[in-house]
């Protein structure tokens, strides 16, 4: 009996998206990237745009996203994915173009490209995975690292200003967690801005709906960035087991980065 004999249409309730390749993910067990990849691929497949989608991967853990999505892909320099996506979309306006970036890529080294791409209102989709730390380089502070959070470059915890003692208290130090998503939502060039998570099935479903809307808006529209932040984990660099990391995410990341739509159809959501 082969696998094909077992998987009959009547038995089949769920399968890997056809727009994911068979290459095994290099992501750490428990990491959110795999889930985010999967729901993006499912959305693109459901929308029937596999042949007209071009993705742009970042520098960071998702640098090799191009190996996993079975759609055309360009790998960008660190932080430049929105500029690369702009270049592609401007000369192929009928294609579906998306960037996939982490917090260091999108909100530190690429802040300029992020803000100006949003401000120009490029008709693209931007996926922003925020886990509050640099994963690929081994767990250094990200712009979104929480205050007090320990990383390889904030071994005593991120401190916005220097702590009391030795007479230096109050002097600028690591600064504050950067709320780039709220920032770009204020720009007239953004159409849909939302913050989601993938730590449990209910939130995966919500995140998928948001990603679908972000792609539908691009397909049906002419201008306006559709921006989906996913608050995710980095259990390896947070030095936690996957379940503990997700619990920590809910208790610590979400109060700082609350979930929900921030801007819908070009209008800020009243809170």
Partner 1 sequence: MGELKLMKGNEALAEAAIRYGADAYFGYPITPQSEVIEYLSEQNPYERTGMVVLQAESELAAINMVYGAGASGKRVMTSSSSPGVCLKQEGLAYIAGAEIPCVFADVVRGGPGLGTIQPSQADYFQNTKGGGNGDYRNLVLAPASVQEMCDFVALGFDLAFKYRMAACILSDGAIGQMMEKVVLPDQKPRMTDEEIKAKYPWAINGRKNGTQHRIITSLDLDSAKMEEHNIHLQKKYKEIEENEVRYEMINCDDAEYVFVAYGSSARIAQKSVQLGREAGLKVGLLRPITLWPYPTKAIDALIKKGVKGFLSVELSCGQMIEDVRLACNGRVKAEHFGRVGGIIHTPEEVLEAMKKQIIGE
By beta-carbon proximity to partner 1, the closer residue of 87 and 266 is 87
Among 16, 90, 186, 239, binds partner 1 (CB under 8 A): 90
At a CB cut-off of 8 Å and minimum separation 6, what does 137 contact?
none
Residue 184 binds to partner 1 (criterion: CB under 8 A): no
Residue 112 binds to partner 1 (criterion: CB under 8 A): yes
Distances (CA, A) of 200 to 76, 160, 234, 240: 30, 31, 15, 17
Span 206-245, contacts to partner 1 by CB under 8 A? none
By beta-carbon proximity to partner 1, the closer residue of 51 and 200 is 51
By beta-carbon proximity to partner 1, the closer residue of 37 and 203 is 37
Three-class secondary structure assignment of 200-227? CHHHHHHHHHHHHHHHHHHHHCCCCEEE
Span 3-32, contacts to partner 1 by CB under 8 A? 21
What distance in Å separates the CA atoms of residue 133 and residue 252, rounded to the nearest whole number?
14
Among 73, 157, 216, 219, binds partner 1 (CB under 8 A): 73
* C-beta separation of 44 from 85 below 8 A: no
Residue 54 binds to partner 1 (criterion: CB under 8 A): yes
Among 16, 46, 92, 269, binds partner 1 (CB under 8 A): 92
* C-beta separation of 61 from 27 below 8 A: yes
Range in contact with partner 1 (rule: CB under 8 A) among 58-66, 154-162, 201-209, 218-226: 58-66
Instruction: Kindly determine how many residues on this chain lie close enough to bind partner 1 according to the rule CB under 8 A.
Output: 34
Binding mask 114-153 for partner 1 (x = CB under 8 A): --x-------------------------------------
Among 31, 40, 62, 83, binds partner 1 (CB under 8 A): 83
Among 31, 41, 61, 84, binds partner 1 (CB under 8 A): 84
* C-beta separation of 99 from 69 below 8 A: no
Torsion of CA 35, 189, 257, 74, to 10 degrees: 30
Range in contact with partner 1 (rule: CB under 8 A) among 85-93, 142-150, 203-211, 214-222: 85-93
Range in contact with partner 1 (rule: CB under 8 A) among 39-47, 64-72, 206-214, 237-245: 64-72
By beta-carbon proximity to partner 1, the closer residue of 113 and 245 is 113
Phi, psi angles (nearest 5°) of residue 163:
-75, 170
Residues engaged in binding partner 1 (CB under 8 A): 21, 50-54, 56, 63-64, 66-67, 69-77, 80, 83-88, 90-92, 95, 112-113, 116
């Amino acid at each position: 009996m082969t696998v094909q004999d077992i998987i009959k249409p009547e038995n089949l309730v769920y399968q890997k998206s056809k727009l994911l390749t068979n290459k095994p993910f290099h992501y750490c067990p428990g990491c959110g990237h795999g889930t985010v990849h999967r729901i993006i691929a499912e959305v693109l497949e459901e929308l029937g745009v596999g042949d007209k989608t071009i993705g742009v991967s970042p520098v960071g853990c998702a640098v090799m996203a191009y190996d996993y999505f079975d759609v055309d892909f360009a790998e960008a320099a660190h932080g430049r994915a929105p500029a690369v996506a702009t270049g592609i979309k401007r000369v192929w306006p009928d294609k579906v173009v998306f960037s996939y970036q982490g917090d260091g890529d999108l909100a530190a080294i690429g802040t300029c490209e992020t803000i100006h791409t949003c401000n120009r209102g490029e008709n693209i989709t931007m996926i922003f995975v925020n886990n509050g730390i640099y994963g690929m380089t081994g767990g250094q502070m990200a712009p979104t690292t929480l205050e007090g959070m320990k990383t390889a470059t904030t071994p005593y915890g991120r401190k916005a200003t220097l702590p009391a003692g030795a007479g230096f208290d109050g002097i600028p130090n690591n600064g504050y967690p950067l709320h780039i998503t709220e920032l770009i939502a204020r720009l007239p060039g953004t159409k849909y801005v939302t913050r989601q998570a993938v730590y449990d099935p209910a939130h995966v479903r919500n995140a998928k709906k948001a990603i679908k809307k972000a792609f539908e808006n691009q397909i049906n529209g002419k201008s306006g960035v559709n921006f989906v932040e996913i608050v995710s984990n980095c259990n390896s660099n947070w030095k936690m087991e996957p379940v503990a990391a997700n619990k920590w995410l809910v208790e610590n990341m979400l109060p700082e980065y609350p979930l929900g739509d921030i801007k819908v159809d070009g209008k800020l959501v009243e809170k």
